[in-house]
Amino acid sequence: MSQILDGQMISKEIRERIKEEVNRLEVKPKLVVILVGDDDASKIYVRNKIKACENVGIATEDYILPKDTREKELVDLIEKLNKNKEVNGILVQLPLPKHLNEDTIVNTISPNKDVDGLNIINQGKLLNRKPVLVPATPKGIITLLKRYFVEIEGKRVVIVGRSKLVGMPLALLFNHANATVTVCHSYTENLKDITKQADILVSAVGKANFISGDMIKKDAVVVDVGINRQMGHIVGDVNFKEAMEVARLVTPVPKGVGPMTIASLLENVLECYDLQKRDMK
């Protein structure tokens, strides 16, 4: 019988711990969130992140900029925030409108304020097994698996999706935990043959029902990163009903990876706060 990996419950535990930590601080940490444009999904994500910060006592400020904002204006704003000692973390919600270069923007963020861990410096540190600020979704996935005592060492992990935000950093984290990792993507041939071998299967594709029951190994652990809208509901990449018939553990959508991302983001804000305090000493 399958069980769910309850991201909502674990996230709540983490958020309560963070709230206590923040309560003990004299000066509250502060996160600035920047949203360019009016993408509906991004607006919801930003709202949820701000609400989660406020619930644990982390101060926030948001900049909602028009979709035709010029790159120079955004770079100037980030540089100003980099210098502002009251700001601990800076998050630019992705994706950005096409005319803005994502690499330029995330690399403008000071590495010790980069809550998303997307800056080239933080990605390099992760590659070199010296992770400091790790992207929130991969970090949350590993935390969730550990809380459920899922064995990673020696296991075959298959990740579908190779983004800088999820697939690639997650592959490194699994690799550091001594798993054998395969990263699949839109050019992968015979995908099902590969996913069927996974002891731990992660899907971060963004397509509803992309992973069917026949792509899953019996008793596997299935992690669904997808957030897709389908007939007015939010669903993941995985056919949840089919997965529950084959797998041992499955993350639901919602209440699986999503809340873990939020909890890890809050942890990263505290990490930024500590990094800056250390820099001042």
Catalytic residue (one of 116, 199, 224, 237): 116
Stretch that binds ligand GUN, among 7-15, 90-98, 122-130, 144-152 (CB under 6 A): 90-98
Burial of 136 (0-12, 13-18, 19+ CB in 10 A): buried
Residues 6 or more apart whose CB falls under 8 angstroms from that of 160 comprise 167, 184, 185, 188, 191, 195, 201, 202, 203, 204, 205, 210, 211, 237
Residue 91 binding ligand GUN, by CB under 6 A = yes
Residue number with CB closer to ligand GUN (8 or 212): 8
Residue 165 binding ligand GUN, by CB under 6 A = yes
Residues 6 or more apart whose CB falls under 8 angstroms from that of 92 comprise 34, 36, 74, 78, 105, 106, 109, 116
Residue 270 binding ligand GUN, by CB under 6 A = no
Q: From edge to edge, which strands make up the β-sheet containing 3-4?
A: 3-4, 249-250, 221-224, 200-203, 156-160, 180-184
Catalytic (active site) residue 116: yes
Residue number with CB closer to ligand GUN (69 or 137): 137
Looking at the chain, which runs of residues are DSSP E strands?
3-4, 30-36, 59-65, 89-92, 156-160, 180-184, 200-203, 221-224, 228-230, 233-235, 249-250
Stretch that binds ligand GUN, among 67-75, 85-93, 186-194, 245-253 (CB under 6 A): 85-93
Residue 116 binding ligand GUN, by CB under 6 A = yes
Residue number with CB closer to ligand GUN (22 or 35): 35
Q: How far is CA 220 from CA 87, 138, 139, 148, in A?
A: 42, 19, 20, 14
CB neighbours of residue 76 within 10 Å: 12
Q: How far is CA 7 from CA 61, 117, 143, 145, 257, in A?
A: 27, 21, 10, 10, 6
Residue 108 binding ligand GUN, by CB under 6 A = no
Residue 105 binding ligand GUN, by CB under 6 A = no
Residue 93 binding ligand GUN, by CB under 6 A = yes
Stretch that binds ligand GUN, among 61-69, 92-100, 151-159, 174-182 (CB under 6 A): 92-100
Catalytic (active site) residue 49: yes
Task: Indicate the angle between helix axes 7-23 and 40-56, nearest 10 degrees.
Answer: 50
Q: How far apart are CA 9 and CA 32, in angstroms?
A: 26
Residue number with CB closer to ligand GUN (119 or 137): 137
Among 5, 31, 136, 159, binds ligand GUN (CB under 6 A): 136
Residue number with CB closer to ligand GUN (82 or 180): 82
Min separation Cβ 260 and ligand GUN, Å: 11
Residue 137 binding ligand GUN, by CB under 6 A = yes
Stretch that binds ligand GUN, among 54-62, 73-81, 89-97, 144-152 (CB under 6 A): 89-97
Binding mask 167-206 for ligand GUN (x = CB under 6 A): ----------------------------------------
**Coil, helix or strand at residue 242:** helix
Catalytic residue (one of 30, 93, 155, 199): 93
Given the rule CB under 6 A, which residues bind ligand GUN? 91-94, 116, 136-137, 165, 261
Catalytic residues: 49, 93, 116
